[in-house]
Amino acid sequence: MPYAIGIDLGTSNSVVSVFRDGSPLVIADEEGNRTHPSVVSFGHGQSAVVGARALRQMVYNPNGTVYSAKRLIGREMHSEEVTKAQAMVPYQIVPGPHGDPRIQVHDRIYTLQEISAHVLRYLKQLAESYLDEAVAHAVITVPAYFNDNQRQATRDAGTIAGLEVLRIVNEPTAAALAYGLGQAKNEYVAVYDLGGGTFDVSILHIMGDVFEVVSTAGDTYLGGDDFDKVMVDHLMAQLKESDQAAVRRSPASRLKFKRAAEQAKRELSSTEEAAIVVEGVLKDDRGFEKDFHSAITRVQYNQLVFPLVKRTFEVCDQALNAAKLEPADIAATVMVGGMTRSLIIREAVESYFGRSAEQGVNPDEVVAVGAAIQASSLLGALEGTGTAGSLLIDVTPQSLGVATVGGFCERLIERNTAIPVSQTKTFTTSVDEQTEVRIEVFQGESRMSADNEKLGEFVLEGLRPAPRGEVRIAVSFDIDANGIVNVTAEDEDNGRAASIRLDASTGLTDSEVEDMKFDNLDF
């Protein structure tokens, strides 16, 4: 029988799961690892190594090893996240023809979709090895706050990897689905998702087999990478200026400090103090390599990261306010992401919600498990062999609208609106004898267009010349179950219409995706 897999494509680590014989199973690699580093390392022959093997090559091949690609996918080259990444990562980030960031490794340039596709193909192959049959379908999860470009770019990555993506599902929704599997609940649940690159919190109302997202909020610039950076900055401040400059010039040394910070962070969840040794990153008076030694206590670490922890609860406040709920109304808290293993995070979450977090779900695996459950249900419906599964009612994380005269943004769909959804609003021409209108689409909460994120634009031509305000244009927004947005503008006089699927500003064309498919290339 055919199988569909669920994939949690994470910033730091990814997980693949399959629903088999009535229960979800997380698939391990040949070494027994159930979480797989989202790392791709390219040799000079451009052969790619993925996962744990690639992670081990980071220090020895820093310029050819790509990690944290999820933080860049679907973004524009001039975005804040890309600027921050350029200062931190050892590999080269260069502009692409669509204004998108791309990765240059040795003498070849890769799209972010191709990098993610390498990870997805690796997970696909693990599943095929475990199931002993080909796998063609998948559900892939993304942070709730991913915009349309990021969602479409993730879907394109799946296509390049040889997968038919049945649905893009928000990570918190998938986690809640795994938590509520087979339980006749009627309660509000908070999903606190702190991964490697992003933070999301979603409030869901679980009613039997119906999982309704009531609200969601997030911070796309907050994750485990940021906690590690705080620790690295603390360690670097202990060096004299000349040593700091030498470390910054060396990609391998920077990675060694990052790895040491990650290790200390993990140790401090179970010990009061962590010793830190970074091998071979300094020079003594005679020019020989020497190690960097330091130590940090749990109290010191908590003080360093407290501002980041506080930011997560500002986001929690937003989600609860949008749902018109208080922390006491939440019956269960589901923790997602490797950072939630940190003691300071667990204690802070329990203090905020006033109860212990759920212990029956693995924070590293729960998202992939939920994705596998949904994948099995969708494939069963597609094949006509399954019964109706759980109903997922998700929401759009940010408001959507169009630019109007005066630099304003007119919202058509408010944030936290249940999807799929369609909404139409009629506008008129703004100048006399106007024969075309430019539709600029924005995402965000500001009344001013310039303060929101522009997702795309298109032009409706052939309008009847007439005094301003006389020609009417109906603008329609349609958001499907994957969160992908389509916008249409129609001249109410003659029925002439133009539309856009908002994947062009930082994505790839359909033909480019087709050309990049791994099945079409000789690897």
Active site residue 8: yes
For residue 108 the two structure tokens come to: 């070849």
Sign of CA dihedral 517, 6, 333, 347: negative
Alpha-carbon gap, residue 153 to 100, rounded angstroms: 11
Q: Which ranges of 132-223 would DSSP assign to H, the alpha helix?
A: 148-160, 171-179
**3 CA to centre of own chain:** 25
Helix (H) or strand (E) holding 42: strand 40-42
Active site residue 70: yes
Rounding to the nearest 10 degrees, give the CA dihedral for residues 382, 386, 388, 393: -50
Alpha-carbon gap, residue 344 to 357, rounded angstroms: 13
Burial 340-376 (b: 16+ CB within 10 A, else e): bbbebbbebbeebbeeebbeebbbbbbbbbbbbbbbb
- Nearest Cα neighbor of 239 from 289, 281, 285, 286 is 281
Catalytic choice (29, 148, 156, 171): 171
Residues 6 or more apart in contact with residue 168 via CB below 8 angstroms: 139, 140, 141, 142, 151, 154, 155, 482, 483, 484
Alpha-carbon gap, residue 165 to 413, rounded angstroms: 26
3-class DSSP state of 49: strand
Indicate the burial class of 382 (C-beta count within 10 angstroms; 0-12, 13-18, 19 or more).
Answer: middle
Q: What does DSSP say about strands 289-297 and 273-283: parallel, antiparallel, or unpaired?
A: antiparallel
- Nearest Cα neighbor of 228 from 68, 2, 81, 335 is 68
| DSSP character string of 279-337 | EEEEE-TTS-EEEEEEEEEHHHHHHHHHHHHHHHHHHHHHHHHHHT--GGG--EEEEES
Active site residue 193: yes
Catalytic choice (29, 114, 148, 193): 193
For residue 327 the two structure tokens come to: 């922390």
Indicate the burial class of 213 (C-beta count within 10 angstroms; 0-12, 13-18, 19 or more).
Answer: buried
Per the CB < 8 A criterion, the answer to whether 38 and 9 are in contact is yes
Residues designated catalytic: 8, 70, 171, 193
